[in-house]
Amino acid sequence: MSSAEGTIARQLVVFVLGNEEYALPIQTVQEVIRFQHPRAVSSSDPSLLGVINLRGRIVPVHDVRPQLNIVHDPLPAPGTLDADGEEADDDEKIVLVNIDDRMAGVVVDDVSEVLNVEAKEFEDLPASGNAVVDGVVKSGDRLIILLDPHALTSLADGEAAAIAS
């Protein structure tokens, strides 16, 4: 894993999926936006929820929970009412990942912090067998799974079949 080379501290955007913490390098995160329901599109990629229009740019939005074996209740449909008759409010966010002008959105349960980590805190996960997982960060008592932003933006390029296997 190239992220473990050198001793330079890095900043990670830490977010929650299910009961676990995950992270992406801050330089690959363009922004975090409130969840908006993507417009469904036909795709053989099971992680693709659809696309959103972000200031005139069409961005694919993915749910990587199944690839990470995270069980999740389905998102409420737009206009769905909760028990009080109010429109269902989903607290999820979309983390927008941008590498070399390739952008993809990833749905997360919440964004918790920007964390400074030293290179010695990074470790490879060779046994994970999951292309979207780049490694793990040991920060104090916490284990934070580092996701591969290149794999996430590759999902946007239609390479999901290779990533998912």
pLDDT digits (tens, 9 = 90+) for 145-157: 999 998 887 865 5
In this structure, the dihedral spanned by the alpha carbons of residues 158, 162, 164 and 165, taken in order and rounded to 10 degrees, is: 160
Task: Spell out the domains of the chain, with CATH numbers in brackets.
Answer: 2-71+84-164 (2.40.50.180)
**Strand 102-108 with 57-62, pairing:** parallel
Instruction: Give CA–CA dist 21/39, Å, rounded.
Output: 27
What pLDDT score does 58 carry? 94
How many degrees, rounded to 5, is the angle at CA 111 between CA 10 and CA 32?
85
The pTM of this model reads: 0.78
Mean pLDDT (10-residue bins), the chain, 165 residues: 57 94 96 94 87 95 89 58 48 93 94 93 77 89 92 64 36
Question: How much is the pLDDT for 104?
Answer: 94
Which position has the token pair 């030293």? 118
- The answer to whether the beta carbons of residues 28 and 96 sit under 8 Å apart is no
**Separation of alpha carbons 22 and 15, rounded Å:** 5
Neighbours of 105 (CB within 10 A): 29
* pLDDT recorded at residue 1: 47
